[in-house]
Structure 1
Amino acid sequence: MISVQNRPLQLSGNKIWVAALVALCLASCTTKKSTVLRSPSSGQGEQQTAVTKPAVDKDKIVAKVGDIQDVNGHAVKNNRIALLLPFELSGIAGTITKEDVERSSLALDFYQGFQLGLDKIAKEGALFDLQVIDSRDNVAYNATLGTSANVKDAVLVVGPVYPREIKSFGQTFANKNVLQVSPLAATMASEFSLPNLVSITPSIRTHSETLAKYVADQYYTGDQILVYDAGDDESKQFLVNFVSEISKANAQAKVKTVMSVNELNNSLVLTGTNHVISGTANKNLVKGLLDAMDERFLNPGNQFKLYGHPNMAKLSFENFENMDFYGLTITSSNLVNESDSDTRKFIGNYKSAYKVDPSEFSYKGYDAALYFGRLIHKYGVDYVSRMTQDKFSGLNSDYKFEFYPKWGYANRALGIMVYHNKKFERK
């Protein structure tokens, strides 16, 4: 275990070099102490019924910050947060691959955003004992971390990041009344079977269900809903229950699944709007779909609305001049609005502290720190009972958790994004 100084981490140059320095200068301006551990001391998915937990009366909380409290037979320090991220410090001196750099950068960005979040709520009186731990992206090592002294008495564990490590850590972390947050993995919570797991990133199933309900709401008499199933892996995953979800939300909707562009062309209606859903984000398949829509769009009477897989946000549509007419609509968990005043302030603070712009992972770390930090500060060790009641709208992410007794808390909050003027905007 290496204790580190309470000073901001200055970022410049190659990020992997900075990652090598994390053991010496991880920031903790707002926390009582920050520590990096190199070695420990020792498909129905979300469709099942969610359960609402009763809230705990805040007036019952009388403990002081930093007190050791009993949580179901386990001693917990009420302001200690364990942050388990794959800095992979042990590999810095050896051969470094591109994947190593990307993973270390992910960890560093998330940490830096998380730290700025704690800095902000420290001004509100919320002080935390942050334990920053290199999870090493190693399954066996993460299993040992579950019994590490600086982890097992934490009031909240954030991490590990990757699915195999999440499961191995969760199996040895005994106190299931303390939450283990999965900060980035989009894996369905049901695959882990950890009742104390918090899955921040909505699963693809949640994206599918949310978009299906949205499309059902856009349907009017005379319209046709055409679900384009290209047969690729993305389509199979995204469209598995799409039609049934539409029918559940709007029994009057006319829905047809088409397997090719030709079949789609032969299924268009002139009586209303053709709501076309693309289950794939493959750029070649999407191009073929858009080319066909452009050709038909020129014919009088053809009206289109296009919806798609969330990964369509990664595609470029600059060469398709009719995109604004189609109103491409997707769901997204990345909701950053850089023109927002709070976002601009965060960007300025981040660049001042670390000399670079924040990444997606920086925003995610910041939002997580604000939400969980404030929740713990307000409710103490009983914060778990508020998870399904206290919603959150952050710079990048919204949180609306549903609880499932077998696999924990799943975030169901997503934004609706519409493509307009060559970019996606939140609706």
Structure 2
Amino acid sequence: MSGNKIWVAALVALCLASCTTKKSTVLRSPSSGQGEQQTAVTKPAVDKETTIAKVGDVQNVNGHAVKNNRIALLLPFELSGIAGTITKEDVQRSSLALDFYQGFQLGLDKIAKEGALFDLQVIDSRDNVAYNATLGTAVNVKDAVLVVGPVYPREIKSFGQTFANKNVLQVSPLAATMASEFSLPNLVSITPSIRTHSETLAKYVADQYYTGDQILVYDAGDDESKQFLVNFVSEISKANAQAKVKTVYNLAELDNSLVLTGSNHIVSGTANKNLVKALLDKMDERFLNPGNQFKLYGHPNMAKLSYENFENMDFYGLTITSSNLVNESDSDTRKFIGNYKSAYKVDPSEFSYKGYDAALYFGRLIHKYGVDYVSRMTQDKFSGLNSDYKFEFYPKWGYANRALGMMVYHNKKFERK
């Protein structure tokens, strides 16, 4: 058998096993629109008289019957395409789904030991917009207490438009698309948008500013810069009215704007390899001159670049925001890696961690609060192996995760600050 066919055979076996009821013991580029600038609303926790409900009971939630331990997991396994030609893109999409599912299942297995038992319905969303619209009324989905998926933006919208019970949350597990693009008040966007990254970094840079410093925002004019730097300068000024900040559009302008009285805080709106190389070359050139001090900040995608040929990087302290915060030396992380390899014979991917964290957070929330878990979304924060959650509620487009970590480049790698 070819490598693809062997992989698909394994996928079929795992998915057919998982698509039965189990008692558990991006994604596109985000928009540069206004999005999350709408004011978030605090939803107070709802105190109700305690009613004793058994695990698996069907309860009424605003006129809709909900099975209090059923979770529907909608992922693009694309099993319907196995009989045809398998492309590299098909394998990647299916691998994403499989990794997320396996991590999610391990998360449910962990909290099962705490007494939280769930009826997990694993459903192939087929990476098909029309099919996802039909899933909103499917028998094993419509009475779920939580829906995780679909994954891709068009399918998120098509499913959300037919899923009638807006008192049950629909989790967007991976898409970084602005929540405002969906207009679904029960949507939970786990992945922070580029706007959240931008606002978080702007506030951080403003906090690093001291009298005599200069903040230089480098706008290279590419798409990444346009998305990331929207309102960046105004966010800095909002956080620190005393900050001296200037936007520069080329390296010559940046060179002429440097100060010797303090630190030059340089913010790169681009993660383009060639543009970043040119920026670092210019910084290295000026760094050799006495009196020039630099601190570098940038687009989160700068984490994907290699800096091995730039010997001054530790002096610049490149700092970025990140929603992927895995620390492989952490004891809980090492234990998860061991359990994952034992169960699935492979190392966990980024999507495996995301699935695991999502299962722990939502599973524990539902186990603790039952069908009223929605009222706790903005109160209960979470710090997982890979992701942190801090949700803000927007009446028109649901819950947006605003939790990000800061990563600093040191000793040839990024470390959590």
Tell whether the structures are fold-level matches, with TM greater than 0.5.
yes
Q: Which runs of 5+ in 2 are unaligned?
A: none
1:327-375 Cα offsets, whole Å, 9 max, x none, are: 0000000000000000000000000000000000000000000000000
Structure 2 length-normalised TM? 0.95
Q: Cα distance, 1:66 vs. partner? A: 0.2
Distance change in 2, residues 1:41/1:322 (3 Å) = closer
User: What is residue 398 of structure 2 aligned with on the other side?
Assistant: 408
Contact persistence 1:41–1:148 (CA under 8 A) = no
Give the alignment of 1:157-196 within 5 angstroms.
Answer: 157-196=147-186
- Whether the 8 Å contact between 2:214 and 2:259 is mirrored in structure 1 is yes
Alpha carbons of structure 1 residues 143 and 191: separation in structure 2 relative to 1, 3 Å: same
Cα distance change on mapping 1:36 and 1:114 into 2, 3 Å: farther
Shift of 1:43: 2.3
> Which residue of structure 2 lines up, in the alignment, with residue 118 of structure 1?
108
Distance (Å, rounded) in 2 between the aligned partners of 1:331 and 1:138: 33
3-state secondary structure, aligned to 1:180: strand
- 1:59 shift after superposition: 5.8
Figure out how many residues of one structure are paired with residues of the other and give that number. 417
Paired position in structure 1 for 2:371:
381
Is the CA contact (8 Å cut-off) linking 1:35 and 1:131 kept in structure 2? no
Stretch deviating more after TM superposition (165-174 or 52-61) = 52-61
- Residue 28 of structure 1 deviates from its aligned partner by 6.2
CA contact (8 A) 1:28 1:115 kept: no
- Describe the shift of the 1:296–1:38 C-alpha distance in structure 2 as closer, same or farther (beyond 3 A): closer
Deviation at 1:160, TM superposition (A): 0.2
Once the two structures are TM-superposed, the CA of residue 37 in structure 1 deviates from its matched residue by: 23
Normalising by structure 1, what TM-score?
Answer: 0.93
State the 1:84 CA deviation: 0.2
Q: Give the CA RMSD over aligned residues.
A: 4.4
Q: Which moved more, 1:44-53 or 1:251-260?
A: 44-53
The Cα of 1:71 is off from its aligned counterpart by 0.7
Preserved contact between residue 417 and residue 426 of structure 1 (Cα < 8 Å): yes
Give 1:105 shift.
0.2
**Shift in alpha-carbon separation, 1:149–1:352, aligned structure 2, 3 A:** same
Deviations 1:125-144 (A, max 9, x none): 00000000000000000000
Is contact 2:32–2:226 with CA below 8 Å preserved after alignment?
no
Write the distance in 2 (CA, Å) between the matches of 1:67 and 1:61: 12
- Contact kept? 1:37, 1:132, Cα under 8 Å: no
Pair 40,112 (structure 1): closer, same or farther in 2 beyond 3 Å: farther
CA distance in 2, matches of 1:20, 1:32: 19
- Judged with a 3 Å threshold, the aligned counterparts in structure 2 of structure 1 residues 264 and 24 are, in CA distance, closer, same or farther, namely closer
Measured in 2, the distance between the counterparts of 1:84 and 1:317 equals 38
Change (3 A) 1:51 1:39: closer
1:39 shift after superposition: 30
- Kept in 2: contact 1:36–1:131 (CA 8 A): no
The superposition leaves residues 120-175 of structure 1 with CA deviations (integer Å, 9 ceiling, x where unpaired) of: 00000000000000000000000000110100000000000000000000000000
- SS of the equivalent of 1:372 reads helix
How is 1:386-405 mapped onto 2 (pairs within 5 angstroms)? Answer: 386-405=376-395
Q: Percent identity at matched positions?
A: 95
In 2, Cα distance between the equivalents of 1:232 and 1:204?
A: 15
Matched, 1:138 2:122: no
In the other structure, the counterpart of 1:330 is 320
Q: How far did residue 56 of structure 1 move?
A: 2.5
Aligned 8 A contact 1:12 1:356 in 2: no
Distance 1:24 1:242, change over 3 A: closer
Give every structure 1 segment of 4 or more consecutive aligned residues whose post-TM-superposition deviation is greater than 4 Å: 11-16, 18-21, 23-42
Counterpart for residue 220 of structure 2:
230
Q: 1:149 aligns with which of 139, 142, 161?
A: 139
Distance in 1 separating the partners of 2:220 and 2:394: 33
Range that drifts further, 36-45 or 375-384: 36-45
Q: Tell me which of 176, 184, 200 is aligned to 1:210.
A: 200
CA distance in 2, matches of 1:54, 1:41: 30
